[in-house]
Structure 1
Amino acid sequence: MGDVCPKVDNGCMLRVGLTGGIGAGKSTVTALLAERGAVIVDSDVLAREVIAPGTPGIGAVSDVFGADVLGADGGLDRAAMARLVFADPEARRRLEGIIHPLVRAEAERRFATAPSDAIVVNDVPLLAEVGLAPTFDLVIVVAADQPTRVARLAGRGMNAEDAAARIAAQAPDAVRDAVADAIIDNSGGPVELETAVERLWMERLLPFEHNKRHRTPVKRPEELALVEYQPTWAAAYRRIEARLLRVLDDRAVRIDHIGSTSVPGLLGKDVIDVQVILSEASDLLDVAEPLADNGFPLSSDTADTPFPADDDPARWRKRLHGGTDPGQICHIHLRPAASPAARLSLLFRDWLRTDAAVRERYADAKRRLAAEAPNASAYAAAKEPIVSEMLPAAEHWAATSGWG
């Protein structure tokens, strides 16, 4: 493949985090991804390497816990350390405070040396628990039902009671599911698992890598499809928001979920619209490269339609960035804090969230337009004057309710 991305060190290759509970089958999924060409970085392996005999890591462990946790070869006596940390949560935190930064540093080194067109999969058992999800372009969670996980652990020589206790001691599935961009259900047999991995690889990971490297945002399809409100939209927004916060840091005044997918009960296109308000108009240009490096390239340098129509068009300027993940289309609307559109997008959202009757009238209008429009572009153009007609009522609601 051609080397299009200008930055090889962590800014170009696709960074995939993989996690799952004990017994879910992470190692099997990792092996299947490796067969398809993924570069694997296994954090469990790294955790052993960074405290191997003679390393600075084992020296730090010895300094904190004493020579009693060392074996005859100068490496870690894992049984002695296990007895210590399982009985003392504070000791476990001190150990993790030594090992986790070393593992992350080594993982970053391996990411940095991967080819620019690589799909690098980092197997991280505690990815969700330690808050690493936003550092990856995509997070895969390997899941399986509890009876299947217990049976697998029993196959490793663990009795059922101990297996259930180990599962219960880990974070609940909901914690991992919240950060998952993709969930692979490994409750079935090997054929079902291989089919799921192949589909993920071909339909999501390969095009995602191509799009990110070539800085090609995923466009919404012209074939119009409105769907009823999906509870998963809010979680998808939170994952995008976390990644944007990591990239933009204090350059963003605020980040919000806007558009139809941000209003519970409202139907819409399966597109997550995100508004990023920047302190200055010049920031629209300054953040372009960091966003592109992290999978959110510029889609268009454009402007919102002024409201009222005779307002200064320069006040309505914005830049639209898009995501490169084909599994979740997103539009990132970058607006300066002084933009009237920044305020109106939040006003319209909050009004619809608050007033069920208005929300239903708007939904009826959307359904009618969708039935008449030949494609998504025509639908968007036809919807714009309807929104403009509704804005005076939204302003009245804002004035009488004390909004803002």
Structure 2
Amino acid sequence: MLKIGLTGGIASGKSLVASRLQELGALLIDADLIARQVVEPGTAGLDRIVEAFGRGILDEEDRLDRPKLGSIVFHDPSQREVLNGIVHPLVREAAAAMMAGAAAGDIVVQDIPLLVETGQGSKFHLVVVVDAPDDLRVQRMVELRGMAPEDARSRMAAQATRKDRNAAADVILDNAATREELLATVDGLWEQRLVPFAENIKRGVRAVRSDGPVMASSKEHWGSQAARLAERLMAAAPEEIMAVDHIGSTSVPGLAAKDVLDLQVAVADLDTADRIAPRLAAAGFPAVPHVRQDTPKPSHPEPEGWQKRFHANADPGRPVNLHVRVAGSPGWHYALLFRDWLRAEPSAVALYESHKRELAGRYAEDRDTAAYADAKEPWFTDIAWPLMEEWANRTGWRPPSYSSSAVRKRGQ
């Protein structure tokens, strides 16, 4: 199944997006609705809230007086933490039970107002944020909900900032214009990304790529995207994955590259790589069979040291190559050294970019990158390798070491 985390600040339009996704066919799990259900009269949740806040937060029918409780927790962060500590675990438990009943090809959308605040982003294939300017959200709360401006701002202050929320997003839906424009954007997201993503996960195949070696200027967001994906990969097999590193051209600031992220997963051995393959596939990274191994380099000529397992992203909106290598192997070592050499040496960046642009022009008519990749191999061995080795010896560079119990994420 495809798991989507939907969030947005108060009065951003998140509920409208959730309703539209449900109309389109998503299984909607509404955290706000569940949060109400777990504190209904007679529930353990309500009993615990009364124990923490007193019977004064009940109305005449012994139901939770939400405005009264809200006036307490939205002005006192410590009280808000007490409430969240009671309600959030109950909501997550109920949501997990609902998700367990979903079918393999379902698109499950969890509507979670505090997704960012509670650090749940790594649980999902995608985090979708509904965004609107703060002033517009205050205006909506005043005009549509009858709130005083200061109360509206207080509610907003109790949530993550707009900057932090958007930084956690894989998809940002702009709701600063009309309702019709927002719904049209949601429809496009559903048809062009979510439906094919879910189908690819169900079939266990990577997303179709039809672009040749098209170079893009370096993007600042490549690093943050890689970091989010690294967290999801670590969450898929936390006891087996030793590290996830952002490697390749997109990991080097200022270097032009194809808009494809390369990530390296470090494992103890290839048996581990094979054992976690189904979990990587469920996380959105199915194995790609019949991919050639890395080419041995002069200082490490043994072919067995360059074996790897290769996966790629099922998400049509974010191409990713995933290289699963044994920590300490020559292929693992080369990928990290190559990245760090390029990051440290501007002359190396210029040299590599010139070579890539020349080859991209040569193979511009290709509909894939196979010939382009093959043509780069001699450069890696004959040009890059001796320069990298010299730099490593001169600077004392050493690759990271992982203890048997260490589990690290290294998305940057």
Q: TM-score range by the shorter chain?
A: over 0.9
Q: Is the 8 A contact 2:114 2:159 kept in 1?
A: no
Q: Specify which of 352, 375, 399 is matched with residue 382 of structure 1.
A: 375
User: In the superposition, relative to structure 1, how do residues 145 and 81 fare at CA in structure 2: closer, same or farther (>3 Å)?
Assistant: closer
Please list, as runs of the form range in 1=range in 2, the aligned pairs for 1:4-403 lying within 5 A after superposition: 13-155=1-143, 156-300=145-289, 302-308=292-298, 311-373=301-363, 374-375=365-366, 376-389=369-382, 390-403=384-397
Q: What are the ranges of 5 or more consecutive residues in structure 1 without an aligned counterpart?
A: 1-12
Question: Which range moves more in the overlay, 296-305 or 183-192?
Answer: 296-305
- Please tell me the root mean square deviation across aligned C-alpha atoms, in Å: 1.7
How far is 1:402 from its partner?
1.2
How far is 1:219 from its partner?
4.7
How far is 1:49 from its partner?
0.4
Q: Is the 8 A contact 1:275 1:335 kept in 2?
A: yes
- Whichever residue aligns with residue 382 of structure 1, its letter is A
How far is 1:230 from its partner?
0.8
TM-score normalised over the length of structure 1? 0.93
Rounded Cα–Cα distance in structure 2 between residues aligned with 1:187 and 1:290: 38
How far is 1:206 from its partner?
0.5
How far is 1:15 from its partner?
0.8
Secondary structure of 1:16's partner?
Answer: strand
Q: Is the 8 A contact 1:226 1:269 kept in 2?
A: yes
Q: Is the 8 A contact 1:137 1:294 kept in 2?
A: yes
User: In the superposition, relative to structure 1, how do residues 177 and 338 fare at CA in structure 2: closer, same or farther (>3 Å)?
Assistant: same
Rounded Cα–Cα distance in structure 2 between residues aligned with 1:140 and 1:98: 26
How far is 1:116 from its partner?
2.6
**Aligned length, in residue pairs:** 392
- Whichever residue aligns with residue 66 of structure 1, its letter is G
User: In the superposition, relative to structure 1, how do residues 162 and 77 fare at CA in structure 2: closer, same or farther (>3 Å)?
Assistant: closer
Secondary structure of 1:171's partner?
Answer: coil
User: In the superposition, relative to structure 1, how do residues 252 and 116 fare at CA in structure 2: closer, same or farther (>3 Å)?
Assistant: closer
Question: Structure 1 vs Structure 2: percent identity of aligned residues?
Answer: 42
- Whichever residue aligns with residue 63 of structure 1, its letter is E
Q: Alpha-carbon deviations, 1:232-283, whole Å to 9, x = none? A: 1111101110101111213122210000100000011111110011112321
- Whichever residue aligns with residue 393 of structure 2, its letter is A
Q: Alpha-carbon deviations, 1:159-198, whole Å to 9, x = none? A: 3444344334432112111211111101011221122111
TM-score normalised over the length of structure 2? 0.91
Q: Is the 8 A contact 1:148 1:187 kept in 2?
A: yes
Secondary structure of 2:20's partner?
Answer: helix
Q: Is the 8 A contact 1:119 1:209 kept in 2?
A: yes
Rounded Cα–Cα distance in structure 1 between residues aligned with 2:299 and 2:251: 26
Q: Is the 8 A contact 2:197 2:207 kept in 1?
A: no
Question: Which range moves more in the overlay, 96-105 or 73-82?
Answer: 73-82
Rounded Cα–Cα distance in structure 2 between residues aligned with 1:78 and 1:191: 32
Q: Is the 8 A contact 1:220 1:271 kept in 2?
A: no
Question: Which range moves more in the overlay, 302-311 or 128-137?
Answer: 302-311
